[in-house]
Chains A and B, each alone.
Chain A
Amino acid sequence: MSGIKLTGVSKSFGVVKVINDVDIEIEQGEFAVFVGPSGCGKSTLLRMIAGLEDTTGGEIRIDAEDVTRREASKRGVAMVFQSYALYPHLSVFDNMAFSLSIARRPKAEIEKKVRAAAEVLRLSDYLNHKPSQLSGGQRQRVAIGRAIVREPRVFLFDEPLSNLDAELRVKMRMEIARLHRQIGATMVYVTHDQVEAMTLADKIVVLKGGVVQQIGAPLALYRDPDNMFVAGFIGSPAMNFLKARVVPGSGDGLTVELDDAPGVPFAIRAKAGLAAGEEIFVGARPEHIALGEREGGIPLRATAEFIEELGGTGYLHALTASGEEITLECRGQERPQPKQPIRLTLSSGDVFAFDRQGARLR
């Protein structure tokens, strides 16, 4: 069982703590994605699992074996680097055969394994090429091939697609997903791109400042974020946060009033317990704000600013009366002009509430 279990894992450089008490459990065969803004410690955490960085505190287990202090080469992990780290003086074949030839495996075995991996990655025609003769996507596949040949317990990917152009990135994303289905190994993937995380992951780990913000399936994070950071990070375009205030209300929910829509109180499914007058944030995804006035929603007034047109839909960026930026999805035919005053409707059943520290109110 090639699961990975991190318990209380920490790392500090001197007094600076870059990874703070991280607990993560990744099941055998699972595709886990570490996502977060740059500098959040996701790559460091991956390198700690690989054994390229020392672990200051806590325990890392692979296959239930404690590998915290074990040498990188003895952990049974293979890593695909952001730069691919292909040796420029070796052919594709020799690059892929590197680990086996280091281990002095018999020639026939090396040949068989490299050819099999090349088959899977559609690289058979390029085995005699040098990396410099390959395109970005092919180099990426060679880097993955080098990992496959080792038959590791765990695959680690460190932002493998960030050097590719947008179109190729989508293609490679599918290839990696296909590969995961095909070989079924445990994979840990680091990215700063939440779209990549959403499309690839069985389990997403959101990190910020070396602290795990939330762990869960992509849709679970999308539908039920624990805090404002996760809510804002997962989903594209990002969730809108509007200032609001708690008002006295009836029932067991929380009754709030948007600063931009005074006099229109509405209930949010969250435990009451905040005093009236307390400031909170209301989060609403762009698809839950509609253009025009609708029944049963919260009406908002805004000024259109700029539209990101995608054809079928468009994302309208607007400013509310109090000057807050708001993004919404336009699905119909209607497209407001810049500077045009518009009316919006927030669907109150789909919003989230966060306290002033950013924690979710449920």
Chain B
Amino acid sequence: MTSDRRGKALTAALMIAPFVITYLTVFAYPVYKMFALSFTDAPLIGEGRWVGFDNYLKLINQKLFFTSAWNTGYFVVLTVVPNTLIGLGLALMVVRLRGWLQSLVLVLFFLPYILPVSVVTQIWEWVLDQQFGIAQYVIELFTGKRISVFRDPIWAMPMVALVTVWWTNGFNLLLFIAGLRNIPADYYEAATLDGATRWQCFQRITWPLIWPVTALVLTLQLILQLKIFDQVYLMTEGGPFNSTYVLLQLVYREAFRLNHGGLGSAVAVFLFLIIVTVSVLQYQLLRVRGR
């Protein structure tokens, strides 16, 4: 009996060993290392001296840190809620379509999501190009002049946000479609018999029942958008005048450009803590509201 149980435990340990080993080597250890490095003056490669909270103190005195933290927050505000609402809005429309038309429209909306980020930014640099970009007609219509959007501190971040929404919305749309399909048609028929209008149906049935999906999408979006880097790096490189400089870019700058491994880790730790706190907090809050 006991030897049988021991055998079972051994088998179980063997079975989960590949996962545990991989998890420890590629996740747990690097995370530990990041925390450890942030308290040293290590360069990018190699060990450093223990310096306590020096790196964090340096950060607090660095203007670029606050700028990038602020810009990351601004980007999150510009993307998370709009991206979620647009995804829901499109899903509500797409779900009304039937058969192959629905599949086709879904594919069209999902297509940007499978593109690599470099292709996405290339497309949009082209679309928004000051001289021959097609979007300039729209910009001209509203502002009366052509604008080099990625060289304008006011325009740059909203445009990066626009590109991001365009790029990632397909996935949200898909999650919402799955959620909407889970709401039985009976609910709407019963409500129709009760005299509910389309808006009342949305307000009283769709919105409360899709809320768990909305909370999930909002949280996923928040985590994803706090980690903004690629689009900024490819389109504006943080400029103009650091108006699109974000936290991950600061990590990149400190660690890989200036060889400050310790300081870079400190920024990463800061971002890590923000993401964990904010996302856990948000998800819990949203769930409570949904009950």
Q: Which residues of A contact B (CB under 8 A)?
A: 50-52, 72-74, 77-79, 81, 83, 85, 87-89, 98-99, 102-103, 146, 150
Q: Which B residues touch A99, using CB under 8 A? A: 194-195
What 0/1 pattern do residues 168 to 195 of B give for CB contact below 8 A with A?
0000000000000000101101111111
Closest to B207 in A: A89
B195:A73 contact, CB within 8 angstroms: yes
Given contacts A79-B193, A81-B186, A89-B208, 14 further A-B contacts (CB under 8 A): A50-B193, A52-B193, A72-B193, A73-B194, A73-B195, A74-B195, A78-B193, A79-B189, A79-B190, A85-B190, A98-B204, A102-B194, A102-B196, A150-B194
A85–B192 alpha-carbon span in the complex (Å)? 12
Out of B184, B186, B209, which one reaches A89, CB within 8 Å?
Answer: B209
Q: What's the least CB distance linking B202 to chain A, in Å?
A: 13
Closest to A52 in B: B189
A85:B194 contact, CB within 8 angstroms: no
Query: Which 9 residue pairs are nearest across A and B when measured between Cβ atoms?
Result: A73-B195, A99-B194, A85-B186, A85-B190, A89-B208, A102-B196, A81-B186, A83-B186, A72-B193
Asked if B11 lies at the interface with its beta carbon under 8 angstroms from chain A, I say no
A73–B200 alpha-carbon span in the complex (Å)? 14
What 0/1 pattern do residues 200 to 226 of B give for CB contact below 8 A with A?
100011001100000000000000000
Q: What's the least CB distance linking B206 to chain A, in Å?
A: 11
Closest to A147 in B: B193
Closest to A95 in B: B190
A31–B194 alpha-carbon span in the complex (Å)? 22
A88:B196 contact, CB within 8 angstroms: no
A50–B192 alpha-carbon span in the complex (Å)? 10
Among B191, B194, B204, chain A packs the most CB atoms within 10 A around the CB of B194
Q: Which B residues touch A81, using CB under 8 A? A: 186, 189-190
A89–B205 alpha-carbon span in the complex (Å)? 8
A102:B209 contact, CB within 8 angstroms: no
A102–B194 alpha-carbon span in the complex (Å)? 7
A102–B204 alpha-carbon span in the complex (Å)? 9
A102:B191 contact, CB within 8 angstroms: yes
